[in-house]
Amino acid sequence: MRISRTLLLLCLSIALLGLALLLQSRGPAIVFAQEGAEWQLTFTPINHALDNNDNFSRDDRFLVVDTRETLGAGIGNSTSIMKVSVSTGLENVLYAPAYKLDPTNMAPGVGAASFSHIDDEVIFIHGPLLEETPILGFYSTRNRRGAVVRGDGAGDVRFVDFRDVSSDVTTPGAHRGGTHRHEYTLDGNRIGFTYDDFFLQNYGRTVGYMEPHPRAPKGVSHWVAILVPVVPQAVAKPGDLIRAADDSWVGRRGQMRAFIGQVVEADGKTTTSSLFVVDIPETVDITTSDSGTKTTFMKPPKGITIRRLTRTPAAGIVRGSHDGTRIAYYATASDGSRQVFLIASDGSDQDPDPAKRPIQASFLEKGASGGLRWHPSGNSIAVLSDNGVAAICVKPGPLFGAAYWLTPHGAALPAPEALVWSHGGSLLAFNRRVPTYDAKGNLVKDFNGNDFRQIFLTRFPDRNGNGIVDAIENGVVRNGASFVAGPVAPEAWASVTGFNLAARLEAAPSLPLPETLGGVRVEITDSGGATRACGIAAVHPEQINFVVPARLRSGPATATVTTHQGRKLAIPTEIAPVAPGLFSANASGSGVAAAVAVRVRGQTQSVENVFSCSPAGCAAVPLDLGPATDELILLLFGTGIRGAQSPITATIGGQRADVLGAAAQSQWPALDQVNLRIPKALAGKGEVAIVLTVDGKRSNAVTVNIK
């Protein structure tokens, strides 16, 4: 089935030749084939748990860990807090109290340690001392508080928060449960934490903060307050929060705390885990908080406000940028994978300004599995995926979304855990569980039969110190339809994004496409050493659109770009037999499809618009599926599809759609056409996502609107 050249030109003038200059907000990326190296720092037969906190000392010479799972699982089975030299791997115990461990009764339980950013001291979770257990009981999530020890190990432990379970009315500035995940602000003044109440266990977990205060309870340094008033689920009303957790500071001074809140929706029954922020003005008086009683829950101080940033599901642990402008979190992408999203700290997914709404920052092939951490520069984020660690460029501009493996990855490797950046941003530490041997060379396991957690390190390859991986700096090769940075296919559209590539915007005047345009040239050298020039459709200072030549061998390749100034940029890429991408009407790789619909009614066919465009952008035109006797066929345009060796499959709105045909579109170079029958069951579904799978490779998702 073909459409007229006029309609095809309409789609392509928008989707194919239009330069996508809004890559900051729309350019997805997957990880490059290249990867960095990692090395193992610790080898002794104990667990060295980093626990995703601020484990580097202020001078980046040491890492602090706990030794959990000595007997059983969890922090309660940690017997000590240690620091490890980053240069030598030597271990020094900072704190090791007398302890009792058995599967049900543990004391004291010490763990989840973090260094202060400004002082040589470490904060960590501490349960009841062994001698306190007859009165206070054993370690539990509702029976712990924050303790601090000097980084040199010479000082005695001191407690920062007071736990009061003996009074009917809680001592002002104290709490009646357990604090944990203690996190200093970058300026060192405030400490964030997560809280579980001991008496009111029908109240869910919540978040709070503490700060030094002269009226703090006797024997401790800090006044404690919760930030989020949670409500028992049995009595919760629409808008109430029944749980708050996975929290992090946003900015340096502790004036915003982001968290995942489980909120009751308008029907009074459904709950959604969404992203929230608590605003804590510098002038807030923490002593105006209510520490509660045995029967009434704590209340936050006066003057704080809570804002909901997303109405769609979100997950954490969330992370705020050091400059306080952005928050990173996990959410489900349109293809069903878990990915990294960013949102302005003063934004909302309901904001009319697109710059304030969430944007997808990663398009990792295996999805994001955890460990989200901002590089101190704010220009990159480290994330776990496919048993490795990837760095994603999140600096607004043409490199946004490009990613690079900092470590080896793949199914054969043990999963990494607990990412931690050094303060200078040159090192990233993490845990892997790996085989460990004792002094006699015998393989040993922890109490639970698992390999021990060891510390690994990797360097951040950033010679100029701007917080972006060097391999990304020259530019990024992207699929020309999806704008995914990753493999490209022969005879497919591709783009290079970077800086100062061309003097101005220029487009090829006619076919065949020239190999040089505006002084710009692109050549690809494949894994066999063959070099072929690319036909160029358009150039711009930050982007080049071109066709990948035919007959390139699959595997690692190099795109050599000659800029308008004569500079030669060698950009790593990969050639694959297929690299499916679908064009969108706004030339971004997302949003409404650059497609047309054909209605088949009896022996007649009529063409219908899928989208309409204005200076404000492109919007979907709702499609009426019509009576049962009608068929509505969707003609999609993409690239990197023609090399398919097995039948192509498609989903629309998550439902399988019949693929009626797929082939090269002979009227335009590198353009592929795929025809789908829209299932009748989608009537009334509104905006739905379309995804192709070609030889096991998923395309980007584009959308249509179904009446």
- Same domain, residue pair 631 and 680: yes
Distance, in Å, from the CA atom of 395 to the CA atom of 384, rounded to the nearest integer, reads 19
Mean pLDDT (the chain) is: 92
**Is residue 10's pLDDT more than 80?**
no
pLDDT at 102: 76
Q: What is the pTM of this model?
A: 0.86
Residue with the bigger pLDDT between 668 and 564: it is 564
401 in a domain, yes or no? Answer: no
- Same domain, residue pair 566 and 594: no
Domain count along the chain: 2
pLDDT at 75: 86
Burial of 60 (0-12, 13-18, 19+ CB in 10 A): middle
**Is residue 493's pLDDT more than 60?**
yes
**Is residue 117's pLDDT more than 50?**
yes
pLDDT tier at 1 (50, 70, 90 boundaries)? very low
**Is residue 16's pLDDT more than 60?**
no
What is the share, in percent, of the chain residues with pLDDT greater than 70?
Answer: 95
Q: Which amino acid is at 292?
A: G
- Same domain, residue pair 545 and 520: yes
pLDDT at 670: 96
What mean pLDDT comes out for the span 142-159? Answer: 92
**Is residue 30's pLDDT more than 80?**
no
- Same domain, residue pair 560 and 658: no
* Domain extent for 657: 5-17+582-706
Out of 521, 556, 575, a domain closes at 575
**Is residue 696's pLDDT more than 50?**
yes
531 in a domain, yes or no? Answer: yes
- Same domain, residue pair 590 and 538: no
pLDDT at 32: 46
Which of 41-45, 280-284, 456-460, 663-667 shows the lowest per-residue confidence on average (mean pLDDT)?
Answer: 663-667
Which of 19-23, 300-304, 441-445 shows the lowest per-residue confidence on average (mean pLDDT)?
Answer: 19-23
Which of 12-16, 274-278, 640-644 shows the lowest per-residue confidence on average (mean pLDDT)?
Answer: 12-16
**Alpha-carbon distances, residue 203 vs 136, 198, 263, 296 (angstroms):** 21, 10, 13, 10
What mean pLDDT comes out for the span 644-659? Answer: 96
**Is residue 271's pLDDT more than 60?**
yes
pLDDT at 19: 40
pLDDT at 35: 61
pLDDT tier at 154 (50, 70, 90 boundaries)? confident
- Same domain, residue pair 595 and 697: yes
- Same domain, residue pair 506 and 598: no
SS3 track for 628-692: CCCEEEEEEEEECCCCCCCCCEEEECCEEEEEEEEEECCCCCCCEEEEEECCHHHCCCEEEEEEE
pLDDT at 109: 93
**Is residue 6's pLDDT more than 50?**
no
Q: What's the pLDDT tens digit per position in 356-397?
A: 999 999 989 899 998 899 999 999 999 999 999 999 999 999
Query: What b-and-e string marks burial along 343-376, b requiring 16 or more CB atoms within 10 Å of the CB?
Result: bbbebbbeeeeeebbbbbbbbbebbbbbbbbbbb
383 in a domain, yes or no? Answer: no
Contact status, residue 5 vs residue 667, Cβ threshold 8 Å: yes
24 in a domain, yes or no? Answer: no
Out of 575, 601, 635, a domain closes at 575
- Same domain, residue pair 592 and 537: no
Out of 560, 575, 590, a domain closes at 575
540 in a domain, yes or no? Answer: yes
Q: What's the pLDDT tens digit per position in 169-199?
A: 999 999 999 999 999 999 999 999 999 999 9
Q: What's the pLDDT tens digit per position in 515-569?
A: 999 999 999 999 999 999 999 999 999 999 999 999 999 999 999 999 999 999 9
pLDDT at 11: 52
Contacts of residues 5-10 at CB distance under 8 Å and 24 or more positions apart, as own/partner, are 5/667, 7/596, 7/607, 8/637, 8/665, 8/667, 8/668
Q: What's the pLDDT tens digit per position in 292-339?
A: 999 999 999 999 999 999 999 999 899 999 999 999 999 998 878 899
What mean pLDDT comes out for the span 619-644? Answer: 96
- Same domain, residue pair 597 and 680: yes
pLDDT tier at 209 (50, 70, 90 boundaries)? very high
171 in a domain, yes or no? Answer: no
- Same domain, residue pair 550 and 508: yes
What mean pLDDT comes out for the span 124-133? Answer: 94
Task: Write the CATH number for 538.
Answer: 2.70.50.70
- Same domain, residue pair 547 and 629: no
542 in a domain, yes or no? Answer: yes
386 in a domain, yes or no? Answer: no
pLDDT tier at 101 (50, 70, 90 boundaries)? confident
- Same domain, residue pair 616 and 532: no
pLDDT at 53: 78
What mean pLDDT comes out for the span 66-90? Answer: 91
Residue with the bigger pLDDT between 637 and 153: it is 637
